[in-house]
Amino acid sequence: MNYNWNWKVFWDMAADGTGTWGMTLFYGVLWSLAAALCAGIIAFVLGSVLGVMRTTPNKWAVRIGNAYVELFRNIPLLVQLFLWFFVLPELLPKGVGDAIKQMPPPWASFVPAVIGLGLFTAARISEQVKAGIQSLPRGQLFAGTALGLTLPQTYRFVLLPMAYRIILPPLTSETMNLIKNTSVALTIGLLELTAAARSLQEFTFQVFEAFTAATLIYILVNLCVVMFMRWLEKSVAVPGFIGPAAVGGAH
Amino acid sequence: MGDFDFDVIQRSIGYLFREGMTFTLTLTALAAGGGIILGTLLAMMRLSSYKWLSVPATAYVNLIRSIPLLLVIFWFYFLVPYIGAWIIGSPTPIRVGAFASSVITFTLFEAAYYSEIMRAGIQSISRGQISAGYAIGLNYWQTMASVVLPQAFRNMVPILLTQTIILFQDTSLVYVLSITDFLGAASKVAQRDGRLVEMYIFAALVYFLISFGLSQVVKRLQQKIAIVR
C-alpha cells in the first residue's frame, strides 16, 4: 500500500493563509461547540415547553405538542437545514429575506444551522421531558394540587425538579447527538469540525490524518460531555431518592 | 407564495422517483438487512465471555457511535478503496462506485446501532431459556438460532423498524458525495431550474409522508405486541 503518511501536516500553513491546519481544526471544534451550545439552549427551552404541554390535561396543548414532534422527527435533518437556509429567505418578505441572505459569511450559515438544529433537537428533548414527567407517580400531581398549588406551580416545584433529574442520562446522549449533528451544517457552509477536516483533506490529500484527527477530537468531546453530565447527575442527586445507579432499576 | 411553481414538480416527478427514490429505498433496504445481520453478530460478540470477541466488538460499537455519520461517510469513501486494494493485493487503491461505497458505509455504521438494539433484545431473554437450550443438548449456535434470537428479534421488531426509519432519513446524507438519491435528485432539479423553494418543500413533504406512515405502522405493531405479552 503506497500512502504517504505525513503527520506534520497539522503544522503546515492552511489554505486560507491565516494559520496552521491545526488551528483550522481548532476553530472547527469551536464552531461545532458554539452551534451545539446555541441550538442546545433553544432545544432545551422549547423541548421543555412542548414536553410539559403534552402532559397537561389541555387537549389542544397535547395536540399541538404531538404535531410538532411528528413534524420535526419525520423530516431528515439535512432537509430541515435546507429549508431554513434556502427556502425560508425566499418565503419571507423580500426585504427581510435579502437581509438574511446578505449576512456576513459565518453567520449566514451559522444562524440557520442553529435554528434548524435547535428545533430538530427540541422534538427529541420534548419526548424525554414527557417521559420523565409521566414516569413520576400520579400521586405527586394530586399531592401538589391538594397542597393548594396551581397547576403551573405543581409543575414548577413538584414535577419538573424530579423529572429533570430522572431524564439526565437520556439528555446526555441527546447532547452527544446534538454535537454530532452539527456536522450536518457543513452542507450549508458552516466550517465546523468535519468541514475543517474535509478541507484539510481536499487541499493536502492527507485523507487519513485529517479524519483521524477529527475522530479523536469527537471522541474527546464526547468524553468531556459524559464526565460533565456524570458530575451534574451526582451534584443534583436528591439524597435517598434517585441515585445514578438506581435509575435503571426504578422501572 | 403566489409564484409557487407546481409544474416543476410535475415535470421532474418521474426522474425524482425513478432515479432518486429507487436509490434511497435500495440503499435503505440493503443497509438495514446487512446492518441487522452484522449488528446481531456484533451483539453476540459483545455478550460473549471470550474477551478477544467482546473487547473489539465493544470498541467498534462505541467508536462508531461517538462520531458523526458524515465523518463516517467520508472515512469509508476514502478508506474502502484502500481496504479493497489490500484484500485483493493490488498496489493501487481500487475504484469503488458511489453506490457500493455508500452501501458499505451505511451497513457498517448502522450495524453499531442495530447491535445495541439486538443486545438489549438478547438480554431480555431470561437465562433459564438458554440453560434449557443447553440442557436438551443444543450447542451455542443452535440455542441462539432456535431459542434466543427468534424471541429477541420479535421483541425488538418495533425498535428495529424505528431505527430503520431513522436510517431511511439518514441516507439523505449521501448528498455530500454528490450521489443522486431522492434529495440529491431534488437538489439537482432545484439548481438546474432555479426552483429551490418548490423542490425542497416537496422533498420534505415526501420524506415526511413516508416516515410518518411507517412510524404509524410501528405504533400499531407495538400495541399488538403489547397485548400479546
Map B107-135 to HEC letters. HHHHHHHHHHHHHHHHHCCCHHHHHHHHH
User: pLDDT-based confidence at A112, cuts 50/70/90?
Assistant: very high
Q: Which residues of B touch A83 (CB under 8 A)?
A: 200-201, 204
Secondary structure (DSSP) of chain A:
------GGGGGSBPTTSSSBHHHHHHHHHHHHHHHHHHHHHHHHHHHHHHHHHTTSS-HHHHHHHHHHHHHHHSS-HHHHHHIIIIIHHHHS-HHHHHHHHTS-HHHHHHHHHHHHHHHHHHHHHHHHHHHHHHTS-HHHHHHHHHTT--HHHHIIIIIHHHHHHHTHHHHHHHHHHHHHHGGGGGGGT---HHHHHHHHHHHH--HHHHHHHHHHHHHHHHHHHHHHHHHHHHHHPPTTS--TTHHHHT-
The pLDDT of residue A14: 72
pLDDT tens track for B114-126: 999 999 999 988 8
Q: What CA–CA distance (Å, rounded) separates A181 from A183?
A: 5
ipTM at complex level: 0.89
Q: Which residues of B touch A222 (CB under 8 A)?
A: 66
Average pLDDT over every residue of A44-62: 94
The pLDDT of residue A24 is above 90: no
The pLDDT of residue A249: 37
Q: What CA–CA distance (Å, rounded) separates B22 from B180?
A: 10
* Contact between chains at B68 and A218 (C-beta distance less than 8 A): yes
Of the residues B64, B66, B209, the best mutation for testing chain A's interface (the one with the most A CB atoms within 10 Å of its CB) is B66
Fold type of domain A30-249:
MetI-like fold (1.10.3720)
Give the residue extent of every domain in chain A.
30-249
- The mean predicted confidence, pLDDT, of chain B is 89
Q: What CA–CA distance (Å, rounded) separates B73 from B105?
A: 6
Identify the structural domains of chain B with CATH numbers, from first to last. Answer: 6-228 (1.10.3720.10)
Q: How many helices (H) and strands (E) does chain B have?
A: 10, 0
The pLDDT of residue B91: 78
pTM listed for this prediction: 0.89
Q: Which of residues 103-162 of A touch B (CB under 8 A)?
A: none
User: pLDDT-based confidence at B228, cuts 50/70/90?
Assistant: low
Joined together, the cell numbers standing for residue A67 give 404535531
Joined together, the cell numbers standing for residue B27 give 440503499
